């Protein structure tokens, strides 16, 4: 959890100022990429490798059906489900760090991931997701704007 927050703070600050400063956009991109890659994928992979029990993760979910579904599905095959989570988080992290269109796709994936965390799981995760989403959305917007400004001007033909 400490690693996660150490990475999330620069991601949030960078994301909030990404629209006005190139360095903030880069800090936000690197921070969010590392949140997904190290704070998410690596941490979950280490928990999985150590045999951690994921059965109670959804105990504080906002909806009873989420808790029930989680308990029925995830603990039965944690290697499969948490393994897929690790792959998803790693892929989103790598894409965010890559720059260009992969960054934008990775940020969209991170937005969806945090949205699901915030809506369905504990109130703590709702608060965390809200803070992260407040930073990821302007970061994505800044990435799109930077790409639009970097595009070459259209070719104009002169009449002969």
Residue 155 in domain: no
Residue 12 in domain: yes
Residue 8 in domain: yes
Residue 156 in domain: no
The 3 state secondary structure assigned to 34-92 is HHHHHHHHHHHHHHHHCCCCCCCCCCCCCCHHHHHHHHHHCCCCHHHHHHHHHHHHHHH
Residue 115 in domain: yes
Residue 79 in domain: yes
- In this prediction, residue 8 carries a pLDDT of 80
- Quote the pTM value: 0.84
Contact, 9 vs 36, CB < 8 A?
A: no
Residue 159 in domain: no
Which residues of the chain are modeled with pLDDT < 70? 1, 3-4, 148-155, 157-160
Residue 82 in domain: yes
Q: Which domain holds residue 85?
A: 2-150
pLDDT, one tens digit per residue, over 51-79 is 888 899 999 999 999 999 999 999 989 99
Overall domain count for the chain: 1
- In this prediction, residue 148 carries a pLDDT of 65
Q: DSSP label at 158?
A: P
């Amino acid at each position: 959890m400490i690693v996660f927050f150490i990475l999330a703070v620069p991601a949030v600050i960078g994301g909030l100022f990404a629209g006005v400063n190139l360095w903030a956009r880069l800090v936000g991109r690197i921070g969010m990429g590392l949140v997904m890659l190290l704070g998410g994928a690596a941490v979950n992979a280490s928990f999985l490798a150590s045999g951690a029990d994921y059965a109670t993760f959804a105990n504080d979910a906002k909806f009873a059906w989420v808790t029930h579904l989680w308990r029925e599905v995830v603990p039965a095959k944690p290697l499969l489900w948490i393994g897929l989570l690790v792959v998803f988080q790693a892929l989103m992290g790598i894409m965010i760090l890559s720059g260009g269109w992969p960054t934008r796709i990775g940020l969209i994936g991170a937005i969806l991931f945090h949205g699901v965390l915030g809506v369905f799981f504990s109130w703590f995760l709702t608060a965390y997701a809200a803070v992260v989403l407040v930073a990821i959305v302007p970061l994505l917007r800044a990435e799109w704007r930077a790409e639009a400004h970097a595009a070459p001007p259209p070719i104009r033909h002169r009449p002969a």
